[in-house]
Amino acid sequence: MKTCANCGERSYRVESRFCLKCGSTLPDAEDVPDINICTNPDCDYHKTKFIYPDGARFCDICGSKTAHA
């Protein structure tokens, strides 16, 4: 969810770029979406931020734990 710095509107989708109410530019990913990614910095899936389903607990490429980031 994003918050408009101008009017305080808070019900934005992650993809939103502009405020629905006042048209102000919204900040980039101020609230990072709750995504489940590989925690191994050397893993390609970490680098590309491949999103695992919520139930996944380990990366199926490198075996490291996944975490919500």
Residue placing its CB nearer to Zn ion in the complex, 11 or 33? 11
Residue 50's contacts (CB-CB under 8 Å, 6 or more residues apart) are: 37, 38
Per rule CB under 5 A, is residue 22 in the interface with Zn ion? yes
Q: Which two tokens stand for residue 32?
A: 């990072």
What gap in Å lies between CA 67 and CA 50, rounded to an integer?
12
Q: Which of 9, 36, 50, 56 binds Zn ion (CB under 5 A)?
A: 9
Contact residues for Zn ion, defined by CB under 5 A = 4, 6-7, 9, 19, 21-22, 24, 38, 40, 43, 45, 59, 61-62, 64
